[in-house]
Amino acid sequence: MQMETFGRGCLWLILGSLGLLVLAIITQSSINIPIFVFIPIVILVFWLASKKSRK
């Protein structure tokens, strides 16, 4: 169950990163995410992944 949560969380982080990469390529800009914003997003993604695997 924990491995499923970890895998699902990683999947969502990778998809989000790819989405930001595509957005940066389309707008031809760089996207800077401060560490104090990034860490809560990572925690939130893994928390949501753990909630979904409990259902």
Domain boundaries, the chain: 2-54
Gap between the Cα atoms of 33 and 5, Å rounded? 24
Is pTM beyond 0.85? Reply is: no
Which two structure tokens, joined as six digits, stand for 39? 């860490």
Give me the pLDDT at residue 1, please.
Answer: 57
Summarised one tens digit per residue, pLDDT across range 14-31 is 998 899 899 999 999 888
Gap between the Cα atoms of 53 and 43, Å rounded? 16
Residue 28: how many CB atoms within 10 A of its CB? 6
Q: Where are the beta strands (DSSP E) in 1-55?
A: none
